[in-house]
Structure 1
Amino acid sequence: MINAAPADAGNVSVPTMAGPRQTSVPELVVATGFSVMAVSYMINAMDRQVFAPLLPTIRSEYGFGLQEGGLLATGFTLGMALAGLPAGYLVDRFSRKTVMVVSIVIYSLGTLATTLASDWVDMSAYRIFSGFGEGMQSAALFAAVGAFFNHRRGLAFGALGVAFGVGNFLGPLVGVHLATTYDTWRAPFVVFGSFGLVVALIAVFAVSRRMTERVVEATVSTATFDYMPASPYNRNSIALAISTAIGGVVIYGVLGLYPTFLINQLHYTRADSALALSFVGFGGVAGLLGGWLGDRVDQRNLLIGSYLGISVVGILIYQAQGALGWQCVFAFLMGVGTGFVFPNSSSAMQRAVRPNQVGLGAGLFVTSYYLLAAFSGLLFTALVAAFGWRQAGMWQVTVLPLVAVLALAFVRTAQFNNAVRQRSH
């Protein structure tokens, strides 16, 4: 059990929205609520990952070109980016639970609607609509969890990363199995979309507002944040936003087109490419370790090491181009890298702003991570068309993370809201 703060054995202390008065949230309520939120995030991941291994089949049916397919594979993140800042505004002012539930319904309906697409424009619209819901959920979910588990934010985000990794692992495997069983690529979209609507209904009753609506300031009333910039758009948050945006381009460039690379370049079967992609999700389970470390070490240095690791893995995937077993290993290592980058970028962004700006921090992270990621597939396919897979992988997956490292050099963790400070007397 992850404890939000020191509490009695059977309860977790949490302030109400009305002020600093403490109320007690039973651990069963916390465990149930967190589990449902984690499952909803797992479905979010499955919805995203089911598209990539089915892209060659979808391209064949609709006659899409490689670049059109690449834009479809990652274009949904444009919707996520557009949702980030508005969702951050909403969750700082309205019920985070309501925003979460509505967002799950939105991305589930978008997933279902994808099966109705008649052309590229239709499918793009449905993908962006689905992404908008996923972005809303991410902002609301991370704001709620970040506020409730304020003292163990990195670990809590790591646990969510595990759920997301499980979704990444299951999405390609289950999706391809359903498509093969029912002889249509539409089957997994129907199943996943329907499952999402069921989870939204469960969340209405199973997720307590005593978890989602926590006020952070009351838990840190003995601290002063005068040492932090008043604006949420400060040196730390901007530097983190730049590195996060680059991370989105790198990671989604890989996720969106990895199966296409395996099928077109290495001549894998659809099932084998889905298996290799699923290992990215398997490696993402390392997010629990990454988040745990993020609460204990300098997050800037941890992120720098993570990006350097991703850069090396890019060399292995696109330059070594090993057999299936090796590609599964490389994909697993890429998943480990993403499992470290995602929760630590998200928690660091919230730590870079004052506690009453947690929602804006969460929204800024979502927008930063997903805005340029929407075009990562288009960039990757353009590089492939111009230089081939090896050089494309070198530039987008090996060189680009080094720019993120440069941006992180400007981060000062001493100005994070979890820095140890004593109130001046």
Structure 2
Amino acid sequence: MTHAAQVDTGAVLADGTRESSRPPLSRAMIAVGFLLIVLSYMVNAMDRQVFPPLLPSIREEYGFSLEQGGLLATNFTLGMALAGLPAGYLLDRFRRKTVLLVSIVLYSLGTMATPLAVGFADMTLYRVVSGFGEGMQSAAIFAAMGAYFAHRRGLAFGIIGLGYSVGVFIAPLIGVELMSMHGTWHSPFYLFGTAGLLIAAASVFLVRSGLTERSVEQAVTTGTTEHMPASAYNRNSLALAVHAVVSGVAIYGFLGLYPTFLITSLHYSAEQAALAMSFLGFGGMLAIFGGWLGDRVNQRTLLILSLLAVSAISVGIYETHAGVGVQCVFAFLMGAFGLGFIYPNTNSALQRAVRPSQIGRASGLFVTSYYGPAAFSGLLFAALVDSFGWSRAGLLQVTLLPLIGVAALTFVRPAQFSSAVR
């Protein structure tokens, strides 16, 4: 990534200053800043994924129904969706670092407020607020890193996805362990929220503007963009947005109620369910490979194959009633394709589907499309479970639904992408 890591001294920053007025970033500062960004996204994932394994205890304490629990497990994505398009607008007009720092503080405070809830309504509010901050952060991170590492965008997104997957891996284990130690599910939320605030404070000094504010026009030097549509909302970006909607509903519906399925249907202990949930994150660590591969092969084909893999794996999860060991293998594979391949490549493909100056809007479109309908995916899955049982609900939402995403991807024309294998 050496040529992608060089600082463009002629780039114009969002605040109107020129990058040429700043000293070039050293490799060490690039590495430190990028590491903090990855760590902040890891905490983002921990805040999101600590909730599902603790949901049975939360439902017991508050008396929530399965539908209410399913909605709470995924409704933070409503906040992310609400943040997506406004964040894209802000990122095209203000400093990305400012948006990034504000977002980390916001989702951390929302996470810390969750245990203070007195009922369903205010817990919903805290979850949505947390999701709003997480959505802003996602848009800011991927817009900034998509510009800085324009020639290795898929790999950079894969590394960020690796950080996310580490968060998914450790959050259930830490959350359940802390709940067992302290006798309450509250402590993980306070711990993870505090970690986010500390990372935000460190980022003020260690994440330099030269890393976050690079001009996308100067970053992309692959030649003409005349082959690309003029509008950010073109055939490719809209088809990818439909695919993102389908993927978000299928994957987050699965993530939100997977521990509940293991505990209530397969009669796993909370610790066994947390272990299986962690294997999802373990599989998601393949995002670094999935992103690297997306820079080298046709991304449409890669996404289609990944969606088909998710459909096949869900059959094994909901139809075989496997033991803990086999279930962990299924969870690993679901994480590998759902988090490691689909997530980073959908994100980077959307940025490649628009012109460089529209990268902020592409990032916002991804966040809104992927996380908006996903806010209700847990509620939908719970309703399907109540009506048809776990097996048929899994068949409908996690096996058949991704096939609609496959159909949407057939409308994508990679030849119109920027810096992509066609």
TM-score (norm 2): 0.96
List per-residue Cα deviations over 1:45-87 (Å, max 9, x = no partner).
Answer: 0000000000000000000000010000001100000000100
Matched with 2:36 is 36
In 2, distance between residues paired with 1:207 and 1:140?
13
**Structure 2, unaligned runs of 5 or more:** none
| Cα distance change on mapping 1:256 and 1:14 into 2, 3 Å | farther
Q: Please tell me whether residue 178 in structure 1 is matched to residue 178 in structure 2.
A: yes
Matched with 2:299 is 299
Matched residue type, 2:11:
T
Q: Quick check: 2:414–2:421 contact (8 Å CA) kept in 1?
A: no
Aligned to 1:3, what secondary structure does the other structure show?
Answer: coil
Matched with 1:157 is 157
Matched with 1:323 is 323
Q: Quick check: 1:5–1:13 contact (8 Å CA) kept in 2?
A: no
Matched residue type, 2:209:
R
Q: Percent identity?
A: 60
Matched with 1:25 is 25
Q: Please tell me whether residue 392 in structure 1 is matched to residue 393 in structure 2.
A: yes
Matched with 2:363 is 362
Q: Quick check: 1:14–1:210 contact (8 Å CA) kept in 2?
A: no
Matched with 1:347 is 348
Question: What displacement does 1:223 show?
Answer: 1.8
List per-residue Cα deviations over 1:311-348 (Å, max 9, x = no partner).
Answer: 11100110112001111100000000121000000000
List per-residue Cα deviations over 1:269-310 (Å, max 9, x = no partner).
Answer: 111101100100000001001000100000000000110111
Q: Quick check: 2:151–2:220 contact (8 Å CA) kept in 1?
A: no
Listed as ranges, the matches of 1:227-306 within 5 Å are 227-306=227-306
In 2, distance between residues paired with 1:80 and 1:3?
33
Q: Please tell me whether residue 213 in structure 1 is matched to residue 213 in structure 2.
A: yes
Aligned to 1:329, what secondary structure does the other structure show?
Answer: helix
In 2, distance between residues paired with 1:152 and 1:314?
32
Matched with 1:135 is 135
In 1, distance between residues paired with 2:200 and 2:5?
31
List per-residue Cα deviations over 1:198-246 (Å, max 9, x = no partner).
Answer: 0110111110100100002113356221221111000000000000111
Listed as ranges, the matches of 1:13-92 within 5 Å are 13=8, 15-17=10-12, 24-92=24-92
Aligned to 2:25, what secondary structure does the other structure show?
Answer: strand
Q: Quick check: 1:14–1:214 contact (8 Å CA) kept in 2?
A: no
Aligned to 1:362, what secondary structure does the other structure show?
Answer: helix
Matched residue type, 1:181:
M
Listed as ranges, the matches of 1:195-214 within 5 Å are 195-214=195-214
Q: Quick check: 1:13–1:25 contact (8 Å CA) kept in 2?
A: no
Aligned to 1:16, what secondary structure does the other structure show?
Answer: coil
Aligned residues: 416
Aligned to 1:229, what secondary structure does the other structure show?
Answer: coil
Matched with 2:383 is 382
Q: Quick check: 2:295–2:421 contact (8 Å CA) kept in 1?
A: no
**Backbone CA RMSD of aligned residues:** 1.5
| Cα distance change on mapping 1:4 and 1:388 into 2, 3 Å | farther
Aligned to 2:116, what secondary structure does the other structure show?
Answer: coil
List per-residue Cα deviations over 1:332-385 (Å, max 9, x = no partner).
Answer: 000001210000000000011100011000000000000010000011011101
Q: Quick check: 1:311–1:401 contact (8 Å CA) kept in 2?
A: yes
Matched with 1:3 is 2
Aligned to 1:297, what secondary structure does the other structure show?
Answer: coil
